[in-house]
Amino acid sequence: MKFLHINLVNYNVKNNQVISLLDELNKELKNGKKVFILFYMEGCGPCNATRPEWKKMKNILQNKYKNLDEFIVVDIDQELIDKITTIKNKPMGFPNMQYIEKGGDLSEDYENSKIDPKDRSVDSFVDWIETKVENKDTDEDKERKEKENQFGGKRKGKGTRVYSKLQKHNSKYNKSKSKSNKLKKGLKNKRKSLKNKNIH
């Protein structure tokens, strides 16, 4: 896991004497790396509260995921947003935290993530990152998967759902319903015949 701190002073500084930090970020995004970005604005109170929590992640995650090259954690000054070539959903307010992958085609805003709580603490940031890194299922994901398994699987083909258990249940229900209808019809006919006998 790589950590980049990019601001107005260092964004053009060459990292390892090869490319600048900003060029490195653009290259990593273009190559489809999975990137967590904190966009902050200098002088913004909520940003000033969030940035130290974001930076604490390095101490927690760097050794744990040191061999995980496809993930990058970045904090960047919002004035550099236009220099990031693959950002499709540019933030309107700050701080803004996004998870970006597939060259910018897929993104998730921290505030829209499924983690709980979303209190902008280092713990919530680590939880969010670990749901992606370890592919952890949230309770909502687990519930959805259980329902899919209960009804025979995920969506397949052109919108068709395979619900083998549901189909079996419906089949049994339809058979018992037709038996029930036959019994009702038989009882109805018996009542009619008894009624007719009583009349004659």
Question: Would you state the pLDDT for residue 86?
Answer: 83
Question: Would you state the pLDDT for residue 113?
Answer: 93
Whole-angstrom Cα distance, residue 127 to residue 122?
A: 9
Distance between alpha carbon 153 and the CA centroid of its chain, in Å? 19
Question: Would you state the pLDDT for residue 157?
Answer: 41
CATH says 2-136 is which class? Answer: alpha beta
In this prediction the pTM is 0.66
Of residues 36, 190, 60, the one with CA closest to residue 110: 36
Question: Would you state the pLDDT for residue 8?
Answer: 94
Whole-angstrom Cα distance, residue 92 to residue 105?
A: 19
Can you name the residues that pair with 160 across neighbouring β-strands? 156
Which string of DSSP letters, residue by residue, matches the chain? -EEEEE-TTTTTSEETTTEEHHHHHHHHHHTT-EEEEEEE-TT-HHHHHHHHHHHHHHHHHTTTTTT-TTEEEEEEEGGGGGG-TT-SS--SSSSEEEEEEGGGTEEEEGGGSS-S-----HHHHHHHHHHHHS-PPPHHHHHHHHHHHHTT-SEETTTEE--HHHHHHHHHHHHHHHHHHHHHHHHHHHHHHHHHHHH-
Question: Would you state the pLDDT for residue 186?
Answer: 72
Question: Would you state the pLDDT for residue 16?
Answer: 66
Question: Would you state the pLDDT for residue 188?
Answer: 73
Neighbours of 53 (CB within 10 A): 18
Neighbours of 106 (CB within 10 A): 12
Per-residue pLDDT of the chain (200 residues; tens, 9 = 90+): 999 999 999 988 876 667 899 999 999 999 999 999 999 999 999 999 999 999 999 999 998 998 898 999 999 999 999 999 888 888 989 999 999 998 888 889 999 999 999 999 999 999 999 999 887 555 555 555 555 555 554 444 433 333 344 455 455 555 555 666 676 777 777 777 776 766 65
